[in-house]
Amino acid sequence: FGIVNFSDLFLKSGIINFCCWLIFCSLLFVASLKAIDGHGEAMDLSVAKRHL
């Protein structure tokens, strides 16, 4: 019974750790996308000005 509780606790902490890691990675990914997107928008504006 004690082993079952321990494994359940380990499983829950593993899921929590995985969720935290996933959130951190997705935030990092979104931040890098926004940085790239910002540069992309600046480039698009300069290209649009050239066409005008």
Q: What is the tens place of the pLDDT at every residue in 9-40? A: 778 888 888 989 999 999 999 888 887 666 65
Q: What are the structure tokens assigned to 9, written together?
A: 């606790």
pLDDT of residue 30: 87
In a domain, 41, yes or no: yes
Q: What are the structure tokens assigned to 35, written together?
A: 């940085």
**Token pair 């050239």 in the structure block, residue:** 50
Domain count, the chain: 1
* Confidence grade of residue 4 (pLDDT, cut at 50, 70, 90): low
Distance CA 5, CA 23 (A): 27
Please give the full DSSP string across 1-51, using - where no structure is assigned.
Answer: -HHHHHHHHHHHHHHHHHHHHHHHHHHHHHHHHHHHHHHHHHHHHHHHHHH
In a domain, 32, yes or no: yes
Stated pTM of the model: 0.50
pLDDT of residue 27: 92
Task: Name the residue range of residue 37's domain.
Answer: 21-52
